[in-house]
Amino acid sequence: MKITEDIRYVGVNDHQIDLFEGQYVVPNGMAYNSYIIMDEKIAVMDTVDAAFGEEWLSNIKNVIGDRQPDYLIVQHMEPDHSANIKVFTDAYPDVTVVASLPAFKMMQNFFGTDYAERRITTAEGATLSLGKHTLTFYTAPMVHWPEVIVTYDATDKVLFSADGFGKFGALDVEEDWACEARRYYIGIVGKYGAQVQALLKKAATLDIQTICPLHGPVLTENLGYYLNLYNTWSSYRPEEEGVMIAYTSVYGNTKKAVDELASLLEKKGCPKVVVNDLARSDMAEVVEDAFRYSKLVLATTTYNGDVFPFMREFIHELTEHNFQNRTVGMIENGSWAPTAARAMSGMLEKSKDLTFVQPQVKILSALNDDSRAQLEALATELCK
């Protein structure tokens, strides 16, 4: 695939994978992206997952023919991008490896060598001339590993963005970018919003016409749309006004309360209502929804004096990814000693800028007139 006259795509699609990073369901596979810049000197941008080394080397050979690459630029050391570094350097023994100092330390751990005899160590703002193309390197620590760099080609105005602007899904599958990019961002990068904001500030100083990520499609049009979404996600602002209800229910009574609340919200004109059963939903999808919408309702049973396990896992996932800047309502159910609301509040106490809406709905086994009145009041507050 031709990106520009001098830049070619040489990545691979993975339809063998079922769980990315051992936890995220990827029904449409993954893409491991790699690029070649053809100039007086040739630079290869990153490698691919270990299972696709032969295919990747064949892709490179098809582009460069009998020419020898001069540089292997390593932006990120996660194995889905770095696993074939040694394979490549063995195949091309004269190539120079370009990476950050922390990346070379990781290479020593992964491959038993830090390429001390044939390497260039990058620093913030360092440049590398390939001839017509001049590359500038920018550090991007904790987006989402500490060694990460991104690379800007001033000639073709291309940003090689490492894991930034990536998404789940192979490139030979048509699907909406935002949905899988959002789930990817929140799951993989979401904890590091401050670091993403710092990188976006650097990107704002550059004339970017194309973004080449390490996962997902090359972005060439409407770049403001993608940049604005990343700005929203990394500043932890809601993407849409709406209420997401996450619940667990053992015998169906908490579910009945959730269904009534959802109906009340819709009748009162709430712009969007999304309901997720934590026992039956993909946890990553539910976390994505919690970050997407402006308001969240947690509804669960008291379980062993605490909260039901799926709810505990869900709240842990929220706090792990820096959940903040939202309005939160709660529904608790307990037959003799409801304590779930207190437990959930405790789990969220370190989250920033949460507004807890009243009343907290208390159900004693099943809905009655009192708890229905509380639901009505909660729906009114959430729709304000």
pLDDT digits (tens, 9 = 90+) for 100-135: 999 999 999 999 999 999 999 999 999 999 999 999
pLDDT at 91 over 90: yes
pLDDT at 282 over 90: yes
pLDDT at 241 over 90: yes
Cβ atoms of 6 and 35 closer than 8 Å? no
Confidence of residue 1 (pLDDT cuts 50, 70, 90): confident
Q: What is the pLDDT of residue 183?
A: 96
pLDDT at 323 over 90: yes
> Do the two domains 7-234 and 240-379 of this chain adopt the same fold?
no
110 vs 336, higher pLDDT: 110
The domain segmentation of the chain, as residue ranges, is: 7-234, 240-379
Mean pLDDT (the chain, rounded): 96
What CA–CA distance (Å, rounded) separates 290 from 284? 10
Q: What is the pLDDT of residue 337?
A: 87
Q: Domain 240-379: give its CATH code.
A: 3.40.50.360
Is pTM beyond 0.85? Reply is yes
Architecture of domain 7-234: 4-Layer Sandwich (3.60)
Per-residue model confidence as pLDDT tens digits over 142-201: 999 999 999 999 999 999 999 999 999 999 999 999 999 999 999 999 999 999 999 999
pLDDT at 305 over 90: no
> In degrees rounded to 5, what are phi and psi of residue 131?
130, -105
